[in-house]
A and B are shown apart, each in its own frame.
Chain A
Amino acid sequence: MRAARGLRVGSMEVLVFCLVAFAVSGAWLRAGVAGNAMLATAGTVFCAVFVQALPFLGLGVVVSGLIAVFVPPERLVRWLPRRSETAVLAAGLAGAALPGCECGSVPVARRLFGDGGAAGAAALTFMLAAPAINPVVVVATAVAFPGQPKMVIARVGASLLTAVAMGWVWSRWGRAEWITRRLPPNALHGPGTGSKWLVFCEAARHDFLQAAAYLVVGAAAAAALHVLVPPGVLERVVSHLVVGVVVMAAAVSLAICSEGDAFVASSLTMVPLVPRLVFLVVGPAVDVKLLAMQSGMFGRAFAARFAPATLVVATAIATVAGVLLLGGSA
C-alpha cells in the first residue's frame, strides 16, 4: 500500500495497472528490445539467469519449508556435534547431499540459521559447501576436465576448506546484530497456527518471494555486466599468474551457475589452470546474484561483510590449493 491511500489506490490496483499497460505496449516493447542488440542480449541473459535459477530456488524453498516444519532450530542444535568446530565440519560435509545451484542453498541456510546461536556458523558453512561440492557439480567438473582428476580434487578440497574456514570465521568474529532480516515470527511452529501443511506453504511462500525478488537484482546485474564487460577481456589478460587470478575473481560478476561453470572454465584454454581453479571455487561462493540474495535473506550489514570476506578466503585457499596440486605454471 503506497502513499496514495486517500485515493484508495492500493498495491493491487497499481499491479493491475502496470500489467495492463505492459500488455497494451507489449508488441512495441518486443520490437524495441529485438531491434537493439545490447537490450536484446541483456534481456536474454536476464531471462536465462532467472529461468535457470528458478527450479533450484523452488527446490530450495521446498527444503526450507520442510525445515520450518520438521527441524526447528532447537532440534537442529541437538543433532549437531557439541563443539562448534566439529559442527561446522559436519555441516560442510552435509553440503555434499543437496544437489542444486547456489541460489537454492541461500533460503535453506537462512532457515537453518534461525536466530543465529549455535547453528549459525554451521548453516553458513552449509550455504557455501552445498553448491560447490555436491555430486552434480563434481561430475560436471570431471566431465569438463577429462583426464585431470587433480582439478576435481582441488576444486572439492578448496571449496570445502573455504566453507569450513568461513564457518569458523563466523563463529569467532560474527555478530548477531548484522542479521537485520528476520523470518516471519508467527508462521513458524507457533502453537495453533494451523496444520503443518499451512506452515510449510507459508514458509515456502515467504522464502520464495524474498529470494526471488533479490534474484531479480542479481540477474539484472549479471545481464548488465554481460553486456558492458567486453567479451574478449578474459582471454587477453593471461600473461601473469597474479593478473590471471585477479581477473578470474572479477569474472565472478558473470554469475554463472555452479553446475555449468566447469565447462566455461575448461574452455578458457588461454588461462592457466590455477586461475581457472580460483574461478571454480570463488564462483559458487560469491557472485553478484548471491550478494543480492544474501542481503535479502540475511540483511545488508551481513552481506557487506560476509561476501568480501568469502571472496578473500576463497581466492587465497584456491590459489594455495592450485599451486600445491596443479603446479604454478601448468
Chain B
Amino acid sequence: MKRETENTLLLLVGLSIGLITYTGVFTRYVKPALLPWLAATAVLLVGLALVAIVADIRRGGPGHGGHDQDPDHQGDHSHRTGVVWLLVVPVVLLIFVTPPALRPQAAARSATSASSDALRHAFPPLPPGRAPELSLPEVLVRSAHDSSGSLTNRLVTITGFVLNERDGMDLARIVIFCCAADAQLARIHLRGPAGGGAPRFADNTWLRVEGGVTSGAPIPTLDAVTVTRVDAPANPYA
C-alpha cells in the first residue's frame, strides 16, 4: 500500500470516529461518558494524517515523498503494510453500515445485582418528589443491597422496554459497563393494577412506569400504578 493511501485511511478512520461522535451513533457501542475521549481521538487521528500528508507534499509530491526520503526503507521493509487495508472494515461499518444497538436477546442473561455475598449497606435516600425517576440498575441494586429500605412504601418511575415471558411481562434495560461487548440484561417483573391486567405490549415497546418495588430473588417486582408508552431514549443502554 502506498503511503498516501495509508494517510487517507488514517484520515478516514479519524473522520468516521468524528462522525459517530457528532451524530450520537457512538452510544450504540460505548458509554456516553466516552464522548470527550472519542472527540479527542478523532482530532488526533485527523491531525496525524494531515501532518503526514502536508509533510509528504512539502518533500516533493505525495506519490514518492516517503520512499525518496528513506530509500532503504523498502529494502528491509520487514512488516508488510497490506494489513493496513483492514482499516477499511471499521470505516465502512461506522460510516455506511452503522450496526444497530444490541437487541435484548444478545445481552447476557444474568441479573446485574445478584451478587448475594456483597455486604448490605445503607444507601442515600431517594430524591424528593412523589415518584422520583430512577434507572433500572439503580432500583435493582437498592432492592438487593439497601439496608435502609429506601424503596419501601415509595413510588418510583422507571423507563425500560417490554420483554414478554411465559408468566408475565418484564421491564428491562440493557446495561453496559465498558462497551456493548459486555452488555447484560437488567430486568424487573411488571405486575399490579396497571401492569398485569393492562393490555399487553409487544416486545421492545418502551414504557415509563410508575409503581412500588417489592424485593424478590433473583428478580424484584414492580407493582405498576401508571404505565405510559414513550419513545426509545437517545442512549439505548442504561
Contact flags A306-319 to B (C-beta < 8 A → 1, else 0): 00000000000000
Nearest residue, chain A, Cβ from B110: A267
- Chain B 54-90 residues near chain A, CB threshold 8 A: 55, 69-70, 72-73, 76, 78-79, 81, 83-90
What residues of chain B lie closer than 8 Å to A267, measured between beta carbons? 108, 110-112, 114-115, 184
10 contacts between A and B (CB under 8 A): A18-B88, A26-B96, A48-B181, A52-B181, A58-B41, A58-B44, A182-B76, A209-B84, A260-B177, A269-B110
Size category of the binding interface on chain A: 35 or more
Specify which of B89, B92, B105 is in contact with A220 (CB 8 Å cutoff). Answer: B89
CB neighbours (8 Å) of A22 from chain B are 92, 96
Q: What sequence of 0s and 1s flags, for each residue 193-222 of chain A, a beta carbon within 8 Å of any chain B beta carbon?
A: 010001001101100111011101101101
CB pair B118 A146 closer than 8 Å: yes
Q: Contact check, A213 vs B178: say whether CB atoms are below 8 A apart.
A: no
Tally the A-B contacts, defined by beta carbons under 8 Å.
218
Taken residue by residue from 1 to 29, chain B's Cβ proximity to chain A (1 for < 8 Å, 0 otherwise) reads as: 11011111110110001001000001011
Cβ–Cβ contact A213 & B55, under 8 A: no
B181–A210 touching, CB < 8 Å: no
Secondary structure of the A contact surface, majority rule: helix
- Asked if B41 and A54 sit within 8 Å, CB to CB, the answer is yes
Given contacts A11-B1, A181-B78, contact A33 B97 (CB under 8 A): yes
Residues of B within 8 A of A217 (CB): 86
In the bound complex, do residue A44 and residue B28 qualify as a contact, i.e. CB atoms below 8 Å apart? yes
If A41-B103, A213-B86 touch, whether A52 touches B52 (CB-CB below 8 Å) is no
The docked-state distance in angstroms from the alpha carbon of A266 to that of B112 is: 8
Contact A209 B8 (CB under 8 A): no
Nearest-Cβ distance from residue B87 to partner chain A, whole angstroms: 6
User: CA–CA, A181 to B40, complex, Å?
Assistant: 29
Contact for B116 among A52, A208, A269, CB less than 8 A:
A269
Q: How far is the CA of A263 from the CA of B4 in the complex (A)?
A: 42
Residues of B within 8 A of A266 (CB): 115
Count contacts on B: residues with CB < 8 A to the other chain: 78
The answer to whether the Cβ of A231 comes within 8 Å of any Cβ in the partner chain is yes
Query: Which candidate, B30-38, B150-158, B163-171, B198-206, is the interface stretch facing chain A?
Result: B30-38
Closest to A31 in B: B97
* In contact, B99 and A44 (Cβ under 8 angstroms): yes
Residue A329 CB within 8 A of the other chain: no
In the assembled complex, B139 has its CB within 8 A of some CB on chain A: no
Q: Are A185 and B73 in contact (CB under 8 A)?
A: yes
Given contacts A47-B90, A267-B110, A267-B114, contact A58 B100 (CB under 8 A): no
B146 to chain A, nearest CB (A): 13
Assembly CA distance A34 to B28 (angstroms): 13
Interface centre among B2, B7, B121 (most CB of A within 10 A): B2
